[in-house]
Structure 1
Amino acid sequence: MRKRFALVGAAVAALVLSLLTVAPAHAAAGFTVANGRLLDANGNDFVMRGVNHAHTWYATRTTQALKDIKSLGANTVRVVLSSGDQWTRNDAADVANVINQCKANKLICVLEVHDTTGYQEQSAAVSLARAVDYWIGIQSAMAGQEKYVILNIGNEPWGNTGYSGWTQATKDAITRLRAAGFQHTIMVDAPNWGQDWSFTMRDNAASVFAADPQKNTVFSIHMYGVFDTAAEINDYLNRFVTAKLPIVVGEFGDNHSDGNPDENTIFATTQQLGLGYLAWSWSGNGGGVEYLDLATNWNAGTLSAWGQRAFNGANGIKATSREASVYGGGTSDPTPPTAPGTPTASGVTSTSATLSWAASTDNVGVTGYDVVRVNGTTETAAATSTTATATVTGLTAGTAYTFAVYARDAAGNRSARSGTVNVTTQSGGGGAGCAVTYRVTGQWQGGFQGDVKVANTGTAPVNGWTLRWTWANGQTVSQSWGATTTQSGATLSATNVSYTGAIPVNGSVSFGFIGSWNGTNSVPTAFTLNGASCTAV
């Protein structure tokens, strides 16, 4: 499928992204990255809320388009440029004009080279190295604009062929840009036509981030048909947040020829996690994907159904966008929220605990809370919440933990840390009354896909779980979604992720996996949930 010129791939499920502590950003002239968050030049948290505009194909439309995009509440616009390899080159003068128009409309400008789209699969596409040549060639337009411009090296810089080359090529591109003197925050798109179904970007993001000497790189995932379920969207984004690696949804739509993306979850999850999003695209789509136009015939007064959803719907641009403080807008408030109250713990099980605290106050409003696990002077992300309560999952039975909470306000300020609470998880149990349905949903030579449904048939809710079974024929799991899997010999342990941790009475959750087999692939018949036996259905 192509959105305008780009084919996107099909989905497979996930590998585990390691939890990493990411170094703070190097001091820079404009945007920076710190602790997994994008900060503007005033040090305020900045969350992109905006759209894409195809400037290189519709340059005469740009002046009015940027005015209209701003009038509808956006704080960011991602602008399509060309290196001259596939389309007419946008020279330094043109790029400078685009930047000035972004600034005049108080929009943050994300500039991207589109000629890299689908490299090694699209015959005319060029490499990231060629995109870097272009950036160096128009560097005069970029110099001094670090407060207002983010440099997106190349759009969807690999197709579905040879995408393993993405990691080193991206590192090399970042290194060359820094050596050339670029101080901007750099954005990198995923391979597989931006959708990373191979998880190449996800699993190598930490090493790519580390390759930036300024530690000032943001990752961009494009969500179309590959991301057609809430589980896939939540799993992908939460892994970056947990690892403190900055991630934005650089493109997405409400429909697509390769599948129907779950746009409602994209809006809801990015808002919950405080992540940026940029809808594709303002107007001018062709080739059968005209439905992706946000504005019909370039008219801000006649938004399409997709445009109404993106700008005016729940968690949409109008409700959630905050102007960058470098423009003196609503996000320039320097006062952080008051510290949350010291949390108390309840509902402690072998794998989870619910924390509650007195809410913070703030003059521009508290937008959310970050729960952290404290170990000496080290803090690790544990949960996020928009209310003064959160359930922390994925804990180990019989283990002591220390937790604390921070508050965030609408300007991106973070409060002082709350007091700490000590929690010791139960040593086991909590799984009585459960039924497990295990299905092989697809099988091929040496491999298979499985789906597992865990039902709570007991009398009390389950908050956090680990399901275990033992295979009889040496099967192994290589990928999973909806749960984190580990294996010791023939015994498989599946532990909930954040969005599958709660199983109400008479409720159920499901997760899936990709596995391997050899000779026989018999179905396991004995399961335990948090140490208690379950009925096999």
Structure 2
Amino acid sequence: MRLRPTPTAARPATVAAALLALFLSFLVATPPAEAAPTGFRVQNGRLLEANGNDFVMRGVNHAHTWYPDRISSFAHIKAKGANTVRVVLANGDRWTRNDTADVANVVSQCKQSRLICVLEVHDTTGYGEQSGATTLSRAADYWISVKSALAGQEDYVIVNIGNEPYGNTNYTAWTADTKAAVQKLRGAGFDHTLMVDAPNWGQDWAFTMRDNAASVFAADPDANTVFSIHMYGVFDTAAEITDYLNRFVTAKLPIVVGEFGHDHSDGNPDEDTILAVSQQLRLGYLGWSWSGNGGGVEYLDMVTNFDPNQLTSWGQRLFNGANGIAATAEEAAVYSGSGGGDTTPPTAPGTPTASGVTSSSATLTWAAASDATGVTGYDIVRVTGGTESAVTSSTRTTATLTGLSPATSHTFAVYARDAAGNRSPRSGTVTVTTSSGGSSSACGVGYRVTGSWSGGFQGEIVLRNTGTSAINGWTLRWSFPDSQRITNLWGGTATQSGSEVSVAAASYTATIPASGSVTLGFTASRSTANPSPTAFTLNGADCSVS
């Protein structure tokens, strides 16, 4: 809140002098300096921490309100690599109310585990269609009632006003009701970043949130609202996922995938694309959910019976798979020592050079940046007319970019990041012109087992293009020699009939540049011996095996 500046001139001796002094004070008074940001904030479509650096959520949902005794889950979620946990709470209208003391304890558990806490009221789920669901206004009243547990926690807590606040009935009221709830909380003195879920059970199939997000954001006097889309059966193709997220990024409106799964009763979401596009655009995602699911969606549990040592196939995929939490999460800078820790950015990386340019891909290489505490990764951006858009990230000083338009000039640059989330100045730019096209099916395959447990294992397949031009689209086939069966696969779509396995490329692995490779990961059941396959074909052609 800004206070009106108060004149500080000495008291005049006469009424006339007093009036003159008052008049002059209005002429010379200047607005107060902007206060330092408190906690998270939104700027230019990005979620920033108080130190001004991007924060990208990588985490899971945890059903605390139904399992309040599972407090150890916070530490277990952190141990798997997450930087954020979205916590299910209840305001008492539909489920047992989480009181102020409990909310304070949840925040404490998040902080002890060095997690950012996204707190949500679940009672609003499916309002207008679900019996017993409550309004966003009632959810806002709940937050106000527990405000003492949240005051001063703006560095650590994001308030997700209400979960999936409309079903498929009267959902057009979402816009006005969301604006009113945001303004009610601001009027009550909430300075936190607020998160708002989409209607249509969170999936926004009618595009109410997408098309009205700008006006909702403008209605927040603090300009500090983040939008959350839930991706289940509505988002079952790469095109739908990419289009939805990119529309928000293009409009410079902050968006996160607040919930998603690998399967659902309303359809099969494309989790590989959700993860890949979120990483490409550096958008947050929060998978559903840690454990304790019922009602026919028990397959969405990431661990069995809250045991962190019993990862399910969904848990393996989300935590340990491509673009998953373990590989991409960065801890919030607020936990990097007192006062936010390191605030010095790395030096700029060297200007990248390009090699291996094909019709749809290129490899960039650059000189490393330097930083007192160490560089943790690099962000590659496309530069068009002075405007930047995220392309991908790398932990090394090289990256292969795929999916480029053929016979087109593309300009790229690189940023460095350190462990505290500080971002360097931008490198110089490089312009790459792709060729007109071509394909090859010459290939090599590397197969290895990366982990085993009783009755199951995790494997990795490195698919190499040994030809002289890019492979654009592929199907890989092999036969398991001893009754192994795929239970989950990332990097492509697997089908299996008996021992015969066929994998079609995912959108983000479809192009393999000459001398390049893509990596697939999978989990499978096994017998005791678990022998490796000895032959693979790519698009019908034999591959060498190593």
Query: What is the TM-score when the length of structure 1 is the normalising length?
Result: 0.67
1:63-74 correspondence to structure 2 within 5 Å: 63-74=71-82
| Residue number in structure 2 paired with 1:29 | 38
Q: What is the SS of the residue equivalent to 1:115?
A: coil
Identify which range, 66-75 or 381-390, moves more after superposition: 381-390
1:207-218 correspondence to structure 2 within 5 Å: 207-218=215-226
Given that 1:26 and 1:32 are in contact with CA atoms closer than 8 Å, whether structure 2 keeps it comes out as no
Residue 56 (1) aligns with residue 65 (2): yes
| Residue number in structure 2 paired with 1:364 | 375
The amino acid of 1:285's aligned partner reads: N
1:7-18 correspondence to structure 2 within 5 Å: none
Instruction: Mark the CA change 1:353 to 1:269 in structure 2 (over 3 Å): closer, same or farther.
Output: closer
5+ long unaligned stretches in structure 1: 1-24, 432-459, 464-497, 506-537
| Residue number in structure 1 paired with 2:114 | 106
Cα distance in structure 2, aligned partners of 1:301 and 1:502: 36
Structure 1 residue 218, shift from structure 2 partner: 1.1
Cα distance in structure 2, aligned partners of 1:368 and 1:72: 23
Instruction: Mark the CA change 1:167 to 1:394 in structure 2 (over 3 Å): closer, same or farther.
Output: farther
Cα distance in structure 2, aligned partners of 1:287 and 1:134: 27
| Residue number in structure 2 paired with 1:476 | none
1:31-430 correspondence to structure 2 within 5 Å: 31-61=40-70, 63-328=71-336, 333-341=342-350, 358-362=366-370, 363-374=374-385, 379=387, 381=389, 383=391, 386=394, 406-409=415-418, 411-419=420-428
Given that 1:49 and 1:320 are in contact with CA atoms closer than 8 Å, whether structure 2 keeps it comes out as yes
Identify which range, 142-151 or 335-344, moves more after superposition: 335-344
Instruction: Mark the CA change 1:393 to 1:163 in structure 2 (over 3 Å): closer, same or farther.
Output: farther
Given that 1:26 and 1:215 are in contact with CA atoms closer than 8 Å, whether structure 2 keeps it comes out as no
Cα distance in structure 1, aligned partners of 2:368 and 2:212: 37
The amino acid of 2:380's aligned partner reads: Y
Cα distance in structure 2, aligned partners of 1:419 and 1:67: 41
The amino acid of 1:417's aligned partner reads: R
Instruction: Mark the CA change 1:201 to 1:502 in structure 2 (over 3 Å): closer, same or farther.
Output: farther
| Residue number in structure 1 paired with 2:521 | none
Structure 1 residue 214, shift from structure 2 partner: 1.6
Given that 1:337 and 1:360 are in contact with CA atoms closer than 8 Å, whether structure 2 keeps it comes out as no
Given that 2:228 and 2:256 are in contact with CA atoms closer than 8 Å, whether structure 1 keeps it comes out as yes
Q: What is the SS of the residue equivalent to 1:249?
A: strand
Structure 1 residue 401, shift from structure 2 partner: 11
Instruction: Mark the CA change 1:166 to 1:46 in structure 2 (over 3 Å): closer, same or farther.
Output: same
Structure 1 residue 385, shift from structure 2 partner: 5.6
Structure 1 residue 236, shift from structure 2 partner: 1.5
Given that 1:371 and 1:383 are in contact with CA atoms closer than 8 Å, whether structure 2 keeps it comes out as yes
Structure having greater relative contact order (Cα 8 Å, sep ≥ 6)? 1
Given that 2:331 and 2:419 are in contact with CA atoms closer than 8 Å, whether structure 1 keeps it comes out as no
Cα distance in structure 2, aligned partners of 1:403 and 1:504: 18
Given that 2:90 and 2:123 are in contact with CA atoms closer than 8 Å, whether structure 1 keeps it comes out as yes
Structure 1 residue 336, shift from structure 2 partner: 2.6
Q: What is the SS of the residue equivalent to 1:285?
A: coil
Given that 2:379 and 2:390 are in contact with CA atoms closer than 8 Å, whether structure 1 keeps it comes out as no
The amino acid of 2:277's aligned partner reads: T
State the structure with more CA Rg: 2
5+ long unaligned stretches in structure 2: 1-33, 438-468, 473-506, 515-546
Structure 1 residue 364, shift from structure 2 partner: 2.1
Q: What is the SS of the residue equivalent to 2:308?
A: strand
Q: What is the SS of the residue equivalent to 2:322?
A: coil
Cα distance in structure 1, aligned partners of 2:391 and 2:178: 30
Query: What is the TM-score when the length of structure 2 is the normalising length?
Result: 0.66
